[in-house]
Every structure is written in structure tokens, then in C-alpha cells.
Structure 1
């Protein structure tokens, strides 16, 4: 089933020039635009919330989701479960790529981890758009011949696990973190104000 679906998607390569151009761009470069947009949306939300402590916590949520997702990807990759399609089959290759372990797709893991983090922790409005772009990145990797559908599915699954893990930590610790440092911040501000008043 994995190879059959791969054949259907990759079989479209080379048949329609504009689609090839779009998919090559998505496979190679779209992830960078996705991360740039994610950084902008996250930092704008952090500034809106106040950089400390809520904004810092929000940035930490996004960073932790990405980190956990990529660590999980590295761990799974160590098992060497699947080689890349072009190593074992005749495929339509639209980009060059080194041979190696194929599952999971790092591009899919990183893209979906960012999209899930934005949706869960930053903006419910923009989250679905990020998910759509992440899906395009993932599918394009199959289209250009460097990943199987199972590879991108595994990446999406690992990203989801990472997002849920951070969500669980959020439920347990966010209020404690924010309240603790908000109280400290307010106390420091009060001390500074009193010190300023005493000098007037």
C-alpha cells in the first residue's frame, strides 16, 4: 500500500511543468518560509501578551514542540526502518538527494511540529493555514521522489505526539509558572516605584 500510494503521487511528476516547479519549490524551500512566518506570528503574539512571563512561556511552547518532535525523529531514524524510494525502485526524481534512511521525514516532522505548535499555543486563527502549508511540504517530498507516504505520515504523528506532550506540560505548569513570575515581576516593580518615590 505504501509503495502503491507513492507510485500514484510520484507518477504525476514530469507530466505538468508548472506543477513540477511548485512541488520542487515546496520540497526544497517552502519550509524556510513556513518557519519565517511561524517566527513572526509567534513573536507578535508574545509581544501582544507581554514578553515576560506569558510571551516567554509561549515562545518556549513552540520551541519545545519543535525540539521534542525532532528528537523523536532522530530516535526513530536510528532503527533504519526504510530506505529512500530511489534506492530500491525506479522513481521520477525531481531533486537530488543523498541516500539513507527515509522514515520518518524530517521535513514533515518539523513542518507539522511548527504548525501544531502555532495552532495549539499561538493562534487558532492561523493554525489551520500553517497545517495546510505543512501538508504541502510533506506531500511535495513524496512527489519529487525522496520520501514514501509512510515517511511523512510518521513525521506528522511524531509532531502530534510532541504537541500533545507540550500541551500536557502546559496544563500542569503554565499557571504556576506565569503566576510565580508575574508575582515576582509585580513585587520588583513595586520596590522600584517605592525607591523612586523615596528619592523625590
Structure 2
């Protein structure tokens, strides 16, 4: 079982445990700050309206991801691993529904938003720590692998949905132009041509 493989590594090495505890907790805030920094730096090359459009899409993608998570959690698919079996539990956590993982959803949605709406290159760079956040939640014993996998699926689905709908509404009410065209730059940054 995948849970046993990942969680079975916990408690064997103090340095690895410390790294995974960091990934399971504080890393998500650093990842969020890094995603925000990447977005702000890329916004320097856009006009104010394009920036508002981008910020709105990012906020909607994150918001929808958490709304979907709340709906799925209300269905109570399963409890946390430590409630049903013996695990290597490295953190104290309240019992409850674990599907899907909010940490995995947030971390991976940060990477998907950057990668799909701003820069593919930076999306891939941020995907590595986002994946580490997701795996660490299994490692420390508070989530099943399916919790983090579905957290990522929710984040990706909502980001793609927002991107597709956003492209259909590229005719912006604040612009006199009939359409805006999204053009890729050589560095994978998305720019707006009006």
C-alpha cells in the first residue's frame, strides 16, 4: 500500500523527519509567498486592467478549489489514517475527515495558477515544493495518498476551468477593443496583446 511505503519512512532519520515536518507545515506559506512574488514580478510587464484580470482569475481558482474541497469533505469519504490504524504520526492533529487535503490543494493550486496563467517555467519550478508539501502530509501520518492526489486534481481542474472560461470572456468590459489575444513569449510568460 502506498501509504505504508511513504509513512513507513517516518521516524527513521531525524533530519528527514525534520525536513518533512517543515514541508508539512511552514513550507506552504513560503510557497504561497513565492507564487505571489512571481505573479507580482510578471505583473510589471502588464497594464493595470490585465493585472486585475489575472488577479481575479487566480483568486477564483483558489476560491473554487476550497469550495469544492468543502463539498467533498461534507461527504465524509474517510477519516484520517491515525484514526483507523497504527501509523508513524509525527504531528499532533485533530481527528476528522481527511479527504481531500487542503494543504495539497492549496500548494498545488499555487503551482497550477502560476504555470497555466503566468509562466510555465515558474509553474514547474513551484510544482516541486508543492509536490513535497503534498507528499509530506502522508509522510507525517495525517493524510492518505488519495487525499493529496485528489487535492491536486481539484486544484488543477479549477485552475483549468477558470483559464478556459477566462479565455471565453477575454472581451473585457473596460476595454474598447473587441478581443484580447494571449501570446506566449519565448520565456513562457503569457503577455496580453490588445
Question: What's the Cα RMSD here?
Answer: 1.2
**Distance of 1:155 and 1:24 partners within structure 2:** 19
Larger Rg: 1
**Distance of 1:68 and 1:17 partners within structure 2:** 38
Give per-residue Cα distances to partners, 1:89-128, cap 9 Å, x unaligned.
Answer: 0000111110000100000111111110000011112000
Q: 1:23 aligns with which of 20, 24, 27?
A: 20
**Distance of 2:14 and 2:78 partners within structure 1:** 30
**Distance of 2:57 and 2:113 partners within structure 1:** 7
1:159 maps to: 155
2:45 maps to: 48
Give per-residue Cα distances to partners, 1:42-90, cap 9 Å, x unaligned.
Answer: 122223212x211111111111110111110011000000100000000
**Distance of 1:73 and 1:44 partners within structure 2:** 30
Alignment of 1:130-141 (within 5 A): 130-141=126-137
Q: CA deviation at 1:134?
A: 0.9
Structure 1 gap segments, 5+ residues each: 185-200
Q: 1:149 aligns with which of 118, 132, 145?
A: 145
Q: 1:111 aligns with which of 107, 110, 115?
A: 107
Conserved? CA contact 1:112–1:135, under 8 Å: yes
**Distance of 1:41 and 1:149 partners within structure 2:** 29
- Number of residues paired by the alignment? 177
Alignment of 1:1-200 (within 5 A): 4-50=1-47, 52-174=48-170, 176-177=171-172, 180-183=173-176
Structure 2 gap segments, 5+ residues each: 178-194
**Distance of 1:83 and 1:168 partners within structure 2:** 34
- Relative to its length, the structure with more helix (as a share) is 1
Give the ranges of 4+ consecutive aligned residues of structure 1 lying more than 4 Å apart after TM superposition: none
- Relative to its length, the structure with more strand (as a share) is 2
The alignment partner of 1:182 has SS state of coil
Conserved? CA contact 1:43–1:59, under 8 Å: no
